[in-house]
Amino acid sequence: FEFDTLIINGKIATASECFNGDIAIKDGKIFAIAPDLKSLKAKSVIDAEGAYVTPGGVDGHTHIDQENTPGAKDYAYRGCDGFESGSRSSIAGGTTTFLAFAMQHKHRRDHTLSDVIAHYHDLATGNSYCDYGFHLIITDPTPERLAEFPKLIPDFGISSVKLYMTYDSLKLNDYEILHTISTARKVGITPMIHAENVDIIAFFSEELEKLDLLDPYSHARSRPALAEHEATNRAIVLSEVMNVPILLVHVSSPGSVQRIRKAQGKGLPIYAETCPQYLLLTDSRLQHPNYEGAKCVCSPPLRPSKEDLDGLWNGCRNGTFTIISSDHCPFRMDSDIGKAVAIKDSGKPGGDWRLIPNGIPGIETRMPLIFTFGVCTGRLSIERFVQLTSTNTAKLYGLYPKKGSIIPGADADLVIWYPQDKYKPTVLTNEMLHHDCDYTAFEGLEMLNWPRFTILRGQVVWDADKGEVTGTKGYGEFVSREPSWFAKNQILFDNITQTAWKNEWRPEFDRPSFK
Ligand code: URP
Ligand code: ZN
Ligand code: ZN
Ligand code: ZN
């Protein structure tokens, strides 16, 4: 019996423990984990030299080849990374699976959800270096479209939908959200909510326009933290009233973290995501004298202070945050569409944020940044790092234990890091990255580690010593997902405790008879 690959001398880190050991891989799956497998025969042997071996990253939030990626004024922008460049960048940064958005267009009532999904499969099939799945963005929850929800998991392997509370071309009102999440609940779909108060943003935007304050920094002023706090609170209430587990995406402010933690403390099934940009960058990045600030325009915006960053790191440490995703949403500075529009066409001295597409790239830098600024600084244990970047994402979105785990039978998706004493601290530059974007917002940060090898289903797809992507385009597969592991447990809990929205929907008093 010959194994395909042996990984020896690893410090194997999972979501719950860290131990020295070897891993044997056969047919793309983890076959055995033991203290010493060095006597086994294998076609290839990789010596981890005592470095951490973690599950491959799972990025729960990426905009890849997405039509009409939301922009400040609802222009139809398309990001610069398709499945080829986006997935190439992903594996070079240790992420072996990402979830991208398949977006329903509000103005295309003739398109069924099946049509939307088929369209994104066309874009992805044969083009990806890593595994991927889809979330659906629901912008027009008509009864016909909601009637398609029961087939999303069995027929399409899609178990999550994203709903927006803001952006005129995407937003749902509370009534529409209630309909959508109650339908989602019945079929085990997890709603993800972009929580910002659309009217607060509209009001502030108009005031800023009157004052001709249109530079990139004013974009952040148009979307104050309170707009996020209010919408976060409202999303929690809507979730509670329907007893639906939800995930709050890209949480940027400690005020939201406090509201989420309070809800979790009451036992509500509220999950939350943050992103490296909100943990590492402040809105001083938007205050450049030239147009550089456009690079960091995203929604919700970067927040003002070190206290904001600290509050988010706290939320990562204490478990309020379930996952850290990239929100990879890349636009080039130098192209006709994209960030550069604001520079070239606005005629305004600081550019015009209303024309700047929202979002920053980050699929490749997510894992190394959180390893560097989380694990290496001691802010996060290695186990918490694995939870936030891989295992919890797999559990939350119905990919576990195939993805996000190092156990026999799981996909052999692994990252082998550098032994700390073998990695020379490196200043991050965009030239190091593999996306099609012409900048990174994290330029100049000093990295203290990087994935040395990324392994996807047993194949080495990234080899940092060679400095190259060794995987092949088209090797990446669509992964069909099940209901959220977290939500499943919540529903089980409800069935046992009999709390499941009975009080709201089926009052237990005897109804008067109207015969
Ligand atoms: O600015 C951002 N984050 N753009 C992407 C769209 C979104 O809402 O995630
Ligand atoms: Zn369209
Ligand atoms: Zn969003
Ligand atoms: Zn996003």
Tokens 């033991």 locate to: 34
DSSP state of 285: G
The CA 105 to ligand 2 mean position distance, Å, reads: 5
Ligand 1 test: best mutation among 59, 61, 63, 170, most atoms within 8 Å of CB? Answer: 63
CB 113 within 8 A of CB 388: no
Q: Which residue has the tokens 């990255």?
A: 433
**Which structure tokens are listed for 103?**
């977006």
The string of pLDDT tens digits covering residues 268-291 is 999 999 999 999 999 999 998 678
- Work out the percent of the chain whose per-residue pLDDT is above 70: 92
Secondary structure, 3-state, 213-242: CCCHHHHHHHCCHHHHHHHHHHHHHHHHHH
Residue with tokens 């860290």, as numbered in its chain:
18
Residue 438 has pLDDT above 70, yes or no: yes
Mapping DSSP to helix (H, G, I), strand (E, B) and coil, where does residue 30 land?
Answer: strand
Check if 326 has its Cβ closer than 6 Å to any atom of ligand 1: no
Ramachandran region of residue 278, left (φ > 0), alpha (ψ -120 to 50) or beta?
alpha
pLDDT band for 141, please (50, 70, 90 cuts). Answer: very high
Nearest CA residue ID for atom 5, ligand 1 = 359
Angle at CA of residue 363, ends 395 and 65, nearest 5°? 95
Q: Do 455 and 461 contact (CB within 8 A), yes or no? A: yes
Tell me the C-alpha distance between 63 and 358, whole Å. 11
Confidence at residue 78, expressed as pLDDT on a 0 to 100 scale: 81
Q: Residue 299 C-alpha to ligand 3 middle, in angstroms?
A: 7
Q: Which residues surround ligand 2, an ion (CB under 5 A)?
A: 105
Q: Length of the chain in residues, anyone?
A: 515
Q: Strands 3-13 and 52-55, how do they pair?
A: parallel
Checking if the pLDDT of 503 tops 50, the result is no
Q: Which is more confidently placed, 50 or 487?
A: 50
Q: Which atom of ligand 1 is nearest to the CA of 298?
A: 1
Is residue 242's pLDDT more than 90?
no
Per-chain residues with Cβ under 5 A from ion ligand 4: 327
Cα(102) to ligand 2 centroid in Å equals 12
Look at residue 17 and give its three-state secondary structure: coil
**Is any atom of ligand 1 closer than 6 Å to the C-beta of 483?**
no
Q: What angle do CA 372, 249, 385 make, to 5 degrees?
A: 25
pLDDT-based confidence at 166, cuts 50/70/90?
Answer: very high
Is 359 close to ligand 1, i.e. is its CB under 6 Å away?
A: yes
Specify the pLDDT at position 346: 79
Residue 298 CB less than 6 A away from ligand 1: yes
pLDDT of residue 139: 96
CA distance 26 to 411: 10
pTM of model > 0.90 = yes
Measured torsion, CA atoms of residues 256, 260, 265, 266, in degrees rounded to the nearest 10: 120
DSSP code for 375: I
d(CA 281, CA 312): 12
3-state secondary structure of 200: helix
Residue nearest to atom 9 of ligand 1 (CA): 327
**Side chain identity, residue 495:** N
Q: 222 C-alpha vs ligand 2 centroid, how far in Å?
A: 27
Report the alpha-carbon distance of residue 122 to residue 113 in Å, rounded.
14
For residue 164, the ligand 1 atom closest to its alpha carbon is 8
pLDDT at 512: 56
512/509 Cα distance (integer angstroms): 9
pLDDT confidence of residue 338: 72
The finding on whether 188 has its CB within 6 A of some atom of ligand 1 is no
* Whether residue 365 has pLDDT greater than 70: yes
Tokens 């936030």 belong to 388
Tens of pLDDT, residues 88-115: 999 999 999 999 999 999 888 999 999 9
Distance CA 200, CA 221 (A): 11
Our mutation pick for probing the ligand 1 site, out of 165, 298, 326, 353, counting the most ligand atoms within 8 A of Cβ, is: 298
Residue whose C-alpha is closest to residue 475's, from 109, 83, 38: 83
Ligand 1 atom at minimum distance from 299 CA: 1
**CB–CB of 428/443 below 8 Å?**
yes
What is the C-alpha to C-alpha distance for residues 417 and 423, in angstroms, rounded to an integer? Answer: 9
Q: DSSP readout, 294-358?
A: GGG--SSPPPS-HHHHHHHHHHHHTTS--EE---B----SSSSSSHHHHHHHS-STT--GGGSBP
Give the Cα separation of 393 and 165 in Å (integer): 23
CB atoms within 10 A of CB 402: 19
Does residue 36 have a pLDDT over 80?
A: yes
Among 77, 98, 339, 358, the mutation site with the greatest number of ligand 1 atoms within 8 A of its Cβ is 358
Q: Are 231 and 489 in contact (CB under 8 A)?
A: no
d(CA 58, CA 157): 17
Structure tokens at 507: 């009052």
- Could you tell me if 136 and 174 are in contact, meaning their C-beta atoms sit under 8 angstroms apart? no
**What ligand has the least distance to the C-alpha of 115?**
2
Q: H helices then E strands: how many in the chain?
A: 17, 19
β-pair type (95-103, 131-137): parallel
- Residue 368 has, within 13 A of its CA and on its CB side, a CA count of 32
In this prediction the ipTM stands at 0.93
Average pLDDT over residues 327-337: 86
